[in-house]
Structure 1
Amino acid sequence: MSVAAGEPARTLQKIADALKAQIDADPKAVELSAVAEIMPDHGVSRGVVLRVFAVLQRAGAAEPVPGGRWRVLREGQRPDRRPLAERPTDVFMDDDL
């Protein structure tokens, strides 16, 4: 599929829907495929794939992570974004350690 003039929003949504279907089909998926893998699958440029990722982010299905990758977000699950050093502190405080 290539991006036709006058149809960019529809193309973005089609690709986003296809990626969302892949996410839903694999409950163990924790990150989206790399941009370089998605580009040839859908016949689009890097910029288009990044815009598709933004569509998924607005839908609450994915979020960017350091290193240029995108994490899958599942309904009802939100990752703990605090620095790693702060997380064990909560465990110690909660368990009176």
Structure 2
Amino acid sequence: METNIATKQKDKVKIKKPKNYKVVMYNDDYTTMEFVINILVSVFNKNLIEAEKIMLDVHQKGNGIAGIYSYDIAMTKVANAMSLAKEQGFPFKLTVEEV
């Protein structure tokens, strides 16, 4: 007498949340406050009040956080901001750091 017993194996798939990365802006003596605000509004989608606060952090503390994003989004925003800075002749510096 044969018995066929089927067993089911459940594989548990763990999905990790993607890591977050902060975009840090740095102060310099050449990039204008107006340009920094413009970048924060146009590239980082900040409202004017948020943009002014971040710009003042950059100006007074030496750096400020433009936002926290997934890696690809952070890198794209930095590339866009750096491209605009280069077009305007500003030595604007941004970095992407893991949170």
The answer to whether TM tops 0.5 is no
Structure with greater Cα Rg = 2
Identify, as 1 or 2, the structure richer in helix: 1
Bigger RCO of structures 1 and 2 (CA < 8 A, at least 6 apart) = 2
Query: What TM-score do you get using the length of structure 1 for normalisation?
Result: 0.28
Provide the TM-score with structure 2 as the length reference. 0.28
